[in-house]
Amino acid sequence: MALFTQDRFTITDPEVGSYTDAIILPQEEYDLLTPEDLEALKQSRFETWKQSVLHPVVQEIPPEAQLQDVTEKIDTLQSQIDDLTVQQDQLQAIIEQPTSDNQNITKGE
């Protein structure tokens, strides 16, 4: 069973605030790192995070795709409405269908 080392760290930057993370490596790998290697690894993680905060990736959806998505949702909703209308009609027919109990009530028995 391998032992792991966790090295927690926080870097504070005036542009983006504080970043807290942890380097978790197998003990054998951690022991091979120099203090400079460890600092470079921490800095690299921080810089990657900072760039994602300052420059988030925004995926723009073309208007045609948006329209297609909305159209598909409308079609789905209309299909659900149609199904519910059929179910409602079936239930109404069942309710209106005379039963032996209903016939007895209407005849005053």
In the structure, what pLDDT confidence band is assigned to residue 18 with cuts at 50, 70 and 90? very high
pLDDT for position 105: 57
How many domains does the chain divide into?
2
In the structure, what pLDDT confidence band is assigned to residue 24 with cuts at 50, 70 and 90? very high
pLDDT for position 10: 96
Last residue of a domain, one of 12, 31, 54: 54
Last residue of a domain, one of 36, 54, 72: 54
Asked whether residue 8 falls in the same domain as residue 49, the answer is yes
Asked whether residue 8 falls in the same domain as residue 47, the answer is yes
pLDDT for position 25: 95
Structural domain span for residue 86: 63-106
pLDDT higher than threshold 60 for residue 59 = yes
Alpha carbon separation from 6 to 3, 25, 48, 60, 87 (Å, rounded): 10, 7, 20, 39, 60
Asked whether residue 12 falls in the same domain as residue 40, the answer is yes
Asked whether residue 33 falls in the same domain as residue 72, the answer is no
Question: Which whole number is the average pLDDT over 53-59?
Answer: 83
Asked whether residue 30 falls in the same domain as residue 70, the answer is no
pLDDT for position 57: 80
pTM (two decimals): 0.50
Asked whether residue 23 falls in the same domain as residue 43, the answer is yes
